[in-house]
Amino acid sequence: MKKKEKETPQEEGIKAKKSLGQNFLNSDGALDAIIKAGRVTKGDKVLEIGPGKGALTKRLLETGANVVAVEKDDRLIPILEDLFAKEINTKKLTLIHGDVLKFDPSLYGLKAKEYKLIANIPYYITGEITRKFLSGNFQPSLIVVLVQKEVAERITTSTQGSVKIKEGKESILSISVKAYGQPKYIQTVKAGSFFPPPKVDSAILLIDNISKKNFENIFKEQKFFDVVKTGFAHKRKTLSSNLKRFTTKEKLSEFGINQKERAENITLEQWLEIARNT
């Protein structure tokens, strides 16, 4: 008898919701790469956002990790409860029906730097998710997420001094991520690896060594982001023009910044220098 192929979400009557940014990952290779990038081992505490039908959840549990999964779609909760009944009963999996943007890690035993965030996240809230978990009081030790390929490329743009190591332009998101951790582009995941396939390719992004070492206190942190957002406020203007209320052209020159330079070409180190000396 021919073995029945695994049913897709559509075959089970569960169609992906565009409003929730759902694209179900069905690539074994990509799942393996995510687990490897997250260095997931037995006993790890892992937060998963949007488990969907549980493909990544299953892989995480197979490593021996303890998983807290937050799913917003009420249609998928019964499927997950049925699929992982044993793991839920033994408390290896804590399944939460809710919105991750309102989620409080501390209520579920997820202490700062003592858990990993690993997920196939809804792409339309990439910025909100990274901001919440990187700038919050309960930072994970590392983050591994699937994001749009272009976003991953932008975040991993890198410079060393005045030398461009990896081509690309900076953004508020890329500078924000680098202020808290070390981003690394793991690999491209083609659109066909998802159901339904998105319009663009994706990428696995690792954010490692997460901390707040660049900020002495919350006031320094707030000042830094105020400076960065002001610097990017008008993209067609030069940095010196955007930052008039913070600093002068002469001061920027002391930081090695050309007076005609734009925000997209400024390194994290230079942004930190501006914020600390204005």
Strands 142-148 and 202-208 come out as antiparallel
CATH number of this structure's domain 218-276: 1.10.8.100
Burial of 12 (0-12, 13-18, 19+ CB in 10 A): exposed
The pLDDT assigned to 13 comes to 56
Domain locations in the chain as residue ranges: 18-208, 218-276
Residue whose C-alpha is closest to residue 33's, from 198, 157, 158, 190: 190
Residue in this structure with the two tokens 């690993």, named with its chain if needed: 118
Strand partners, 117: 47, 143
The pLDDT assigned to 162 comes to 41
What's the pLDDT tens digit per position in 21-32? Answer: 457 788 899 999
Looking at domain 18-208, what is its CATH homologous superfamily? Vaccinia Virus protein VP39 (3.40.50.150)
The CA distance from 122 to 127, in Å, is 10
The pLDDT assigned to 198 comes to 76
Residues 93, 70: contact at Cβ < 8 Å?
no
The pLDDT assigned to 22 comes to 52
The pLDDT assigned to 197 comes to 77
Which stretches of the chain score pLDDT less than 50? Answer: 1-11, 16-21, 159-165
The pLDDT assigned to 121 comes to 87
The pLDDT assigned to 19 comes to 47
